[in-house]
């Protein structure tokens, strides 16, 4: 098995490498879209916590984008699935998804609590 990503893509028949790259692009695009939507929602509702949380999401998504760009275009030599970079990206992806859900839930709960006491 070749050790470089580009040579693996050229030697491997089928569309699996292309599907994997497209799924990464879709995931990153969706996460960036959700965090921008949260930021807009925080701006409209004048919710500082939602805006700060979405800024944290945007920064972590920027880290994912940079890693994916380096991985696809600069042909990183490490092909191990459990490399430090791969594990970091998986943890960052899990953080983004869990933080998005908690941010959304907190925003809804705080809005309901505020409307209850008014």
**What's the average model confidence in pLDDT over 76-94?**
71
Has residue 82 been placed in a domain? yes
Give the C-alpha separation, 5 to 32, whole Å: 26
Q: In this structure, are residues 107 and 47 in contact, taking their beta carbons and an 8 Å threshold?
A: yes
In a domain, 62, yes or no: yes
Q: Give the count of domains, the chain.
A: 1
Predicted structure pTM score: 0.68
Rounded percentage of the chain residues whose pLDDT exceeds 70: 75
Q: Residues with Cβ < 8 Å from 11, sequence gap 6 or more?
A: 2
pLDDT at 44: 92
In this structure, what token pair is assigned to residue 103?
């941010």
Q: Report yes or no on 6 lying in a domain.
A: no
Give the domain extent around 44: 15-110
């Amino acid at each position: 098995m070749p050790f470089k990503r580009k040579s693996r893509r050229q030697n491997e028949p089928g569309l699996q490498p292309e599907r994997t790259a497209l799924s990464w692009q879709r995931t990153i695009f969706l996460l960036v879209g959700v965090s921008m939507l949260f930021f807009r929602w925080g701006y409209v509702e004048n919710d500082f916590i939602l805006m700060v949380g979405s800024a944290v999401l945007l920064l972590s998504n920027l880290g994912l984008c940079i890693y994916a760009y380096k991985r696809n275009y600069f042909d990183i030599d490490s092909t191990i699935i459990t490399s430090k970079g791969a594990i970091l990206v998986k943890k960052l992806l899990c953080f983004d998804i869990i933080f998005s859900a908690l941010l959304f839930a907190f925003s809804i709960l705080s809005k309901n609590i505020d409307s209850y006491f008014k």
